[in-house]
Structure 1
């Protein structure tokens, strides 16, 4: 088989939409088949003899389609039996200029995925984009309405150049598709075009690099060059060049039987609107995204034996992966073997080195047949786990894990800051390789989890009691959260002297539960509704155990679903965490600058320590106005939403006043700051305090407090919270004391925020103008004004007196508007 090399094309991510009327039909519409199989007669209207187009000496690659290279021209020979077959088209960037997209776009990034069909219309071949957003059974009359109201776009139209010698295929020239600016398969998204002021694609510098045809897919690499006024690199050229990879793979003739989503178990999903549903509405159906996992030996599987899947999930390591990291990446991939064993499969997921060119000259990381852990030479600190799925069923076809080179530095820094007090081996810039490898292994396992269909589960870190995280035996067995899919990276609760502690996250019981729920094979299921009862039973069995609870990352009001948080008591956990930071900060110079003889790492780590502290106090601030969300069905006891108790909210306010708003002067460590910062100590603290004020005085927080107080008069209400906040932040005015610089900054920030509530605040959730929010802001300003008028005449210093008079003037101005 002859092969060629092609440049890649990036796609902007498209949602899958499909109005095809027959979602799971196993047979094509008869009339369509008859049209497709009709052998056309040669036509004189521009259609030539085969030999006049595909000339002697042409290079041919046979596979899904025959691909011909005739001189510099590229042709597809599309069999009529392949017309109207659904194919998944995936666009990825293969090569790109430095810093495109600010570091978050890289080689391997997917720009678009879409379902397409090749169709014939007269003497043209059409490439049409298909959609599965809206569907209806083809046997129902409404399917006709669905079809005409969801007319699918033609991506490109090709003139038929010739027919194959046996008249079973049409020959088209595909160069125009890959050398013009087709937005749907372009790596240059609209925001990139705007950011870099892209003018146009220069066709004279754009060309097909290679086309390869395989039995079930065709891979195209294309080089695209754009004129741009402000390119991300090589600015003097006014040019952005990309290499794109276009993958087109034949979707299964018989889609995998989908599994209906249950919001109590976390899965990524595909959605469809079924207009043929017996419900009295267009019925939205959500199917989980998962790999097809079927046992080789169904009888042994039914007996409860571990059985290998017919097709295991295989990840290849990027050939550019550093040698010393490969074993940790493989371990992170294969850590999911144990959860799959819970679902009855052995060797379900396997890690392999990429074949060498000698072993397989056709191997390419961009080939959609292969899932790859891509190692990206980039200063970005991140890792991601995207995947590509069949929109008809949710079947995951392929995924690429992307690891950015500098990401380990983030983990080293966090390891030092969050565990250094209790963990002597973290007190260095040269973290032992095995410990860094363990961290990388867990990050890879987390990203593979995404690629298996699992979103973040932010409730998993709330499953364990805080003090159990100080117990060596417990942490070694259970880790620090119930799932690897939470953002619970390190054990920041453990204190100096605690022994045998596990500090790094690991796989947890929820991961086994979720894999079993999503991947366990149930025989004789041909319709997803047939297994709904069994799946519901599995959820109910675990319904009251917090280890198996799912919490959405998008939740902004639930204290049990927070990022970077561990333990079931945020006040206690954050108290432990801050205690550890107080140990770490004064030791930072001896762990960093004293060893390196420069202050770069000290500067970086101090900035990150402020960020860690900010997260700890933010975890407590979420309690105020907090509402627990426990996703349930009506058959389960208890409510879905339950506000946090008034007692815990009041305790949280007291804690915040003590640990945030009373100036945390321990952060002003002169042995650190006098070597990294010439003047902005006070501003660093003001930003931390401002963030927490914005949370507490946020319009959504106030709205929840008003709502829960309305439902239950014993709850901690907005009036009480704002009163407590004012009395704590302005306590000097009540105590006849002078106010220092840090507290004046805080008080000015408070006043600014309160004035915004009165004059400028809006909400997407409710009408602020008709709510109590502005009345509360007005009342608080009046109360503060009255207090300061008395306090300015007290026994205070001149700066405090000026500060109070200035505040009174600002309040007068705000109240007059």
Structure 2
């Protein structure tokens, strides 16, 4: 308002000056027969500026009061922006409320989110800017702050003429065209448009459905119709990005999407940040921090979590003395009313299960699931005040758990968990393949509601964990000795993994007769510890540095217990950190898993049978058997060239990086020799295969074996073997790997015996891969910097300048000698042809002239 007063005063003076001159002119010409003076032109300037509030907002408007008071007149919408809101930061979160079918996007999914703020602009305008947190300076009065501000211009995403002014510094603006138009900040982003061949907005079929406003948020529901680019006639192979169409748009040339944008006021009293610690698995936010006294820019990295605070000082004191207290504002997740009723209790229980972890942080009743009150018309599923487990009627086999958080502090504002209906299909397949050997309830095409409900509960707990800020802890299951997974009492007490945030799924190690019936993941020791770390309350009576020191002490103490370690989900080289694995030894665990897979094979037809139906169900289950078997191979392969990565700080003892012992790497090759390279004929059950495919399984097995060979000979693995064997001759080397593989894969050549078709295929694959290593070229090697979260260091290595081609040449020469000697052996004719072919391939590769 202060900026407007001089302008208004100047306008008033100008009007007065003009009127006085007119009066003088009349007196001067009085009594003279002169040409009539034309009437003064109406001063339009009076209509150009803001109107008085009372003259603009009248009884023809419908008004709703809230964070931004909303006025509606027919199809026009106006916001009141109080001056007190200028400079305040808001989250703008846009979600789909309804989508066109067939595009794999669903109502409730997020489209866009950003931080915005209102500010006064020039010429009676209000501006809306988008704020990006990349760099910060804490002292707004320092020269450093000005330098940061000069490098951090916020884009203007809306400019609004002030339509009316209220005496108490409130500005009325017309927001209609911003929200019924195609402003990217509140609409579908360009990449999505490109993916679905969406073109320009159809203004005549796009409108604001309603705007609702509340004390801390304003909700804008819009319907947007877009044109669709017609299919192009392709004259050659496509080189652009993948595109598709919503099926509904193909026939009519348009697509209609319904969106909801939430404006949520961020806390005026920001939550105290919790410094990110890479030894505890939390999602994080970060920005560069420039301080006046610092000699370099620091990275301010902090964990993402909900704000839990005591209701009052008395509660804070009680909690400090060890008593559990209820938080001022608990974490509440609503169950989408579109969810089938029989699954709602299990989804709710998956939320409630986390209370045991919050108790370790000093809270009781800190988190709960609630059913959506369907008779309350004041509540909306898209209202950003509510966190919801959304049900999606889709055949996607997945669920996910995101959150929306304050980028300044990491405080979680709300979350919409996505649960696709067909995740139950995924759960059926996982549980049948991994647990049916010991659980009779898993031996049917359809599970009982109770069993499926417990599986849904497990998924609910896992996804809720993500929305509490927790990352995947892929190292949790490696803290359990394999043999303990067969110990009934131990598993009942501890579970088969120490974290529900692991991809440990179900206990596939337990064997029939062990008596193990506790096969599900649950909130474990690590989860309890991680919630204690993230949600223990530190009052204002201690500084941030003191709180950080306390957390560090706790973490070092926790690391004395292997079950409380965090293992990153992105490690390219630590065999302890893997998806879908169990136990502390992949070779032992996979042996047990394969024994159980063998037990399933004779029963697959019976468990999938349904009269009058084709064998699609049998094919799906069999594919899942192959996938599980392939996972076991991958778990073992990661030991070769493996490096243990144990996050530690300066005040902890021992190395961070350690080479996987040579004996374990040789065990891995021996396992692969036994379970993969020796033809797994049990997978080629002809009673199954002759019902689902015309082939006998030769090529399917060949693909599995090719996967094993190519993974073992990957360039980055060979680089690690070179690096680690250079440290000590006692470490496994590339030469050891080639020697062991050749001995296993080419054993019939050395014994001059008959070679089956599967083994002939495998030998060709292996020899061809060695030939490729004569000219291996560049490879990208990734590593995780010590102390990093999701960051990778990458470097290019020219394998041509390493020992790899030399060793490949030497071993090919050696194999050629074996093949020459085997030519006079007693193998059958096809085997001799095969060996002659191998020898010729090697000779041409070694001497292409």
Task: Trace 1:195-594 onto structure 2 (pairs within 5 A).
Answer: 195-228=195-228, 229=230, 230-234=244-248, 235-276=250-291, 278-296=293-311, 297-357=315-375, 360-524=376-540, 527-593=543-609
In structure 2, do the counterparts of structure 1 residues 692 and 56 end up closer, same or farther at CA, with 3 Å as the change threshold?
A: same
Question: 1:53: how far off?
Answer: 4.7
| Aligned residue among 577, 584, 609 for 2:625 | 609
Residue 152 (structure 2) pairs with residue 134 (structure 1): no
Alignment-derived partner of residue 676 in structure 1:
692
Residue 162 (structure 2) pairs with residue 146 (structure 1): no
8 Å Cα contact 2:716-2:780 kept in structure 1: no
Q: Which moved more, 1:807-816 or 1:35-44?
A: 35-44
In structure 2, do the counterparts of structure 1 residues 111 and 762 end up closer, same or farther at CA, with 3 Å as the change threshold?
A: farther
Secondary structure in structure 2 of the residue aligned to 1:309: coil
Alignment-derived partner of residue 173 in structure 2:
172
Task: Trace 1:646-685 onto structure 2 (pairs within 5 A).
Answer: 646-679=662-695, 681-685=697-701
Question: 1:467: how far off?
Answer: 1.1
In structure 2, do the counterparts of structure 1 residues 525 and 589 end up closer, same or farther at CA, with 3 Å as the change threshold?
A: farther
Question: 1:465: how far off?
Answer: 1.0
Question: 1:800: how far off?
Answer: 2.6
Question: 1:471: how far off?
Answer: 1.4
Distance 2:7 2:696 in 1: 79
CA deviation string 1:490-512 (max 9, x = no partner): 00011011114311111111111
Distance 2:597 2:821 in 1: 40
Secondary structure in structure 2 of the residue aligned to 1:258: coil
Question: 1:181: how far off?
Answer: 2.7
In structure 2, do the counterparts of structure 1 residues 771 and 224 end up closer, same or farther at CA, with 3 Å as the change threshold?
A: farther
Distance 1:241 1:148 in 2: 41
In structure 2, do the counterparts of structure 1 residues 709 and 587 end up closer, same or farther at CA, with 3 Å as the change threshold?
A: same
Residue 84 (structure 2) pairs with residue 81 (structure 1): yes
In structure 2, do the counterparts of structure 1 residues 40 and 690 end up closer, same or farther at CA, with 3 Å as the change threshold?
A: farther
Distance 2:102 2:416 in 1: 20
Distance 2:809 2:255 in 1: 54
8 Å Cα contact 1:733-1:791 kept in structure 2: yes
Distance 2:257 2:394 in 1: 17
Secondary structure in structure 1 of the residue aligned to 2:797: coil
8 Å Cα contact 2:686-2:696 kept in structure 1: no
Query: Rg larger in 1 or in 2?
Result: 2
Question: 1:594: how far off?
Answer: 6.3
CA deviation string 1:59-97 (max 9, x = no partner): 111111111211211111211111111111111111111
Secondary structure in structure 2 of the residue aligned to 1:330: helix
8 Å Cα contact 1:65-1:77 kept in structure 2: yes
In structure 2, do the counterparts of structure 1 residues 495 and 69 end up closer, same or farther at CA, with 3 Å as the change threshold?
A: same
8 Å Cα contact 2:116-2:130 kept in structure 1: yes
Alignment-derived partner of residue 785 in structure 2:
none
Question: 1:189: how far off?
Answer: 4.5
In structure 2, do the counterparts of structure 1 residues 552 and 189 end up closer, same or farther at CA, with 3 Å as the change threshold?
A: farther
Question: 1:735: how far off?
Answer: 1.4
Residue 808 (structure 2) pairs with residue 777 (structure 1): yes
In structure 2, do the counterparts of structure 1 residues 386 and 742 end up closer, same or farther at CA, with 3 Å as the change threshold?
A: same
8 Å Cα contact 1:381-1:410 kept in structure 2: yes
Distance 2:598 2:175 in 1: 65
In structure 2, do the counterparts of structure 1 residues 292 and 810 end up closer, same or farther at CA, with 3 Å as the change threshold?
A: same
Question: 1:816: how far off?
Answer: 5.1
Question: 1:694: how far off?
Answer: 2.1
Residue 655 (structure 2) pairs with residue 625 (structure 1): no
Distance 2:397 2:517 in 1: 27
Distance 1:687 1:566 in 2: 25
In structure 2, do the counterparts of structure 1 residues 206 and 759 end up closer, same or farther at CA, with 3 Å as the change threshold?
A: farther
Distance 2:645 2:2 in 1: 55
Secondary structure in structure 1 of the residue aligned to 2:635: helix
Secondary structure in structure 2 of the residue aligned to 1:558: coil
In structure 2, do the counterparts of structure 1 residues 45 and 787 end up closer, same or farther at CA, with 3 Å as the change threshold?
A: farther
In structure 2, do the counterparts of structure 1 residues 795 and 152 end up closer, same or farther at CA, with 3 Å as the change threshold?
A: same
Unpaired stretches in structure 1, ≥5 consecutive residues: 1-32
Question: 1:468: how far off?
Answer: 1.0
**Aligned pairs, how many?**
778
Secondary structure in structure 1 of the residue aligned to 2:128: strand
Alignment-derived partner of residue 767 in structure 1:
797
In structure 2, do the counterparts of structure 1 residues 51 and 800 end up closer, same or farther at CA, with 3 Å as the change threshold?
A: farther
Q: Which moved more, 1:679-688 or 1:113-122?
A: 679-688
Alignment-derived partner of residue 187 in structure 1:
188
Secondary structure in structure 1 of the residue aligned to 2:464: helix
CA deviation string 1:198-240 (max 9, x = no partner): 3322222222111111111111111122222352212222323
Question: 1:351: how far off?
Answer: 1.1
Alignment-derived partner of residue 808 in structure 1:
839
Question: 1:795: how far off?
Answer: 2.9
CA deviation string 1:421-446 (max 9, x = no partner): 12222111232222211111111001
Secondary structure in structure 1 of the residue aligned to 2:778: coil
Question: 1:726: how far off?
Answer: 2.0
Distance 1:199 1:337 in 2: 48
Distance 1:780 1:36 in 2: 85
Question: 1:526: how far off?
Answer: 6.7
Secondary structure in structure 2 of the residue aligned to 1:632: coil
Distance 2:330 2:448 in 1: 34
In structure 2, do the counterparts of structure 1 residues 498 and 335 end up closer, same or farther at CA, with 3 Å as the change threshold?
A: same
In structure 2, do the counterparts of structure 1 residues 481 and 595 end up closer, same or farther at CA, with 3 Å as the change threshold?
A: farther
In structure 2, do the counterparts of structure 1 residues 55 and 707 end up closer, same or farther at CA, with 3 Å as the change threshold?
A: same
- TM-score normalised by the chain length of structure 2: 0.88
Distance 2:270 2:246 in 1: 42
Question: 1:469: how far off?
Answer: 1.1
Question: 1:324: how far off?
Answer: 0.6
In structure 2, do the counterparts of structure 1 residues 278 and 610 end up closer, same or farther at CA, with 3 Å as the change threshold?
A: farther
| Aligned residue among 159, 162, 179 for 1:160 | 162
In structure 2, do the counterparts of structure 1 residues 570 and 473 end up closer, same or farther at CA, with 3 Å as the change threshold?
A: same
8 Å Cα contact 1:126-1:157 kept in structure 2: yes
Secondary structure in structure 2 of the residue aligned to 1:344: coil
8 Å Cα contact 1:700-1:763 kept in structure 2: yes
8 Å Cα contact 1:340-1:348 kept in structure 2: yes
CA deviation string 1:316-357 (max 9, x = no partner): 110111111111111100000111011110000011111123
In structure 2, do the counterparts of structure 1 residues 243 and 754 end up closer, same or farther at CA, with 3 Å as the change threshold?
A: farther
Unpaired stretches in structure 2, ≥5 consecutive residues: 12-44, 231-243, 782-795
Select the structure with the greater relative contact order (CA < 8 A; seq sep ≥ 6): 1
- TM-score normalised by the chain length of structure 1: 0.92
8 Å Cα contact 2:202-2:227 kept in structure 1: yes
8 Å Cα contact 1:471-1:501 kept in structure 2: no
8 Å Cα contact 1:466-1:567 kept in structure 2: yes
CA deviation string 1:376-414 (max 9, x = no partner): 100001111100000111100101111110111111121
